[in-house]
Amino acid sequence: MREQYAVSERRVCGLLSMAVSSYRYALRRNDEELRSRLVQLAREKPRFGYRRLHVLLRRAGKAANHKRVYRVYREAGLCLRRKKRKHCMRIGSPLRQHTRVNQEWALDFVHDVLAAGRTIRVLSVVDAFTRECLALEVDTSFASRRVTRVLEEIVEDRGKPQSIRCDNGPELTSRHFLSWCLEQQIELVHIQPGKPTQNARVESFHGKLREECLRVSWFHNLFDARRKIAAWQRDYNEQRPHSSLNYRTPAEFAAMNCGKDADCVRLENAAGVSHFPTASAATRVG
């Protein structure tokens, strides 16, 4: 601009709202020593980030601001390459309308905290047709073998399900759990990651469990949690009216419509508008 309009330096800086001292500033900083030291430390500790390298520099007596270390760290190309997390690819599996017991079980976990601050997990299994809570197992952690042990106890009592719907947790995608379902000839329906509405029946059940039991109870220890949650499970199955079952209890609905010699009737809201596409008639097992 000075060469084009033949004006002074001060005039140009005034037009650009820039201080003359800023225009005349010459960089006198030399980061070569810091750069070489960072490269040396990064070669010795290739998986250390700039924060740990900054600590090592301070231990060695090198006084440098962490922001300066980060700038030189990036300019030297020492940033760690983070592996992109591999997400599980699942095909969407919308909810189906069921006509009998044991067509599908919905399985998931819910968390809570004891009085001492320790986290507990509750494994819940729900029959998609009768809305019965088949299991509420409480513990601090669950391995896949523990999950299959709970399912085997339910199978001994009421038979095998046609399918099990669950999310993609490590307990439900392990080799042991997959092989167990294969041996039992049970179809395993994994929902898409991040879409809990594809397992809406157990999510709805968890809402009732939280509102009516977990949030109104104080668990002193693990045994107290098991006792109170088991009592709520009995009340849910035998005493609590369920709106989707025409305000009958799950136990009453199962006894009325799902006997061994009786045909299971449809739910009263089954013919209503569904938020999810239903399975074709060919896929239904009556």
H/E stretch holding 110 reads strand 104-113
For 24-55, what is each residue's pLDDT tens digit?
877 777 888 999 999 999 999 988 999 999 99
Distance CA 105, CA 97 (A): 13
pLDDT of residue 285: 38
pLDDT of residue 273: 35
Residue 4 scores a pLDDT above 50: yes
Residue 193 scores a pLDDT above 70: yes
Helix H segments across 78-192? 144-158, 175-183
76 close to 35: Cβ distance less than 8 angstroms: yes
Per-residue pLDDT band for 250 (boundaries 50, 70, 90) equals: very high
The side-by-side arrangement of strands in the sheet containing 163-166 is 133-139, 119-127, 104-113, 163-166, 187-190
Count of all residues that appear for the chain in the document: 286
pLDDT of residue 281: 36
- 8 CB burial (10 A radius; 0-12, 13-18, 19+): exposed
For 252-281, what is each residue's pLDDT tens digit?
999 886 554 444 444 444 433 333 333 333
Among residues 102, 98, 105, 100, which one has the least CA distance to residue 159? 102
Per-residue pLDDT band for 22 (boundaries 50, 70, 90) equals: confident
pLDDT of residue 71: 93
Across 197-205, average pLDDT: 92
What is the pTM for the complete model shown?
0.63
pLDDT of residue 82: 76
Average pLDDT along the chain: 84
**Residue 96 or residue 178, greater confidence:** 178
Across 163-176, average pLDDT: 92
**Residue 12 or residue 165, greater confidence:** 165
For 85-141, what is each residue's pLDDT tens digit?
666 677 777 778 888 889 999 999 999 999 999 999 999 999 999 999 999 999 999
Among residues 191, 173, 168, 171, which one has the least CA distance to residue 104? 191
Helix H segments across the chain? 2-5, 9-15, 20-24, 32-44, 50-59, 66-75, 144-158, 175-183, 200-209, 222-238, 250-257
Does the domain spanning 104-265 belong to CATH 3.40.1390.20? no
Helix (H, G, I), strand (E, B) or coil at 41: helix
**Residue 14 or residue 69, greater confidence:** 69
Across 58-79, average pLDDT: 90
Distance CA 140, CA 122 (A): 8
pLDDT of residue 7: 76
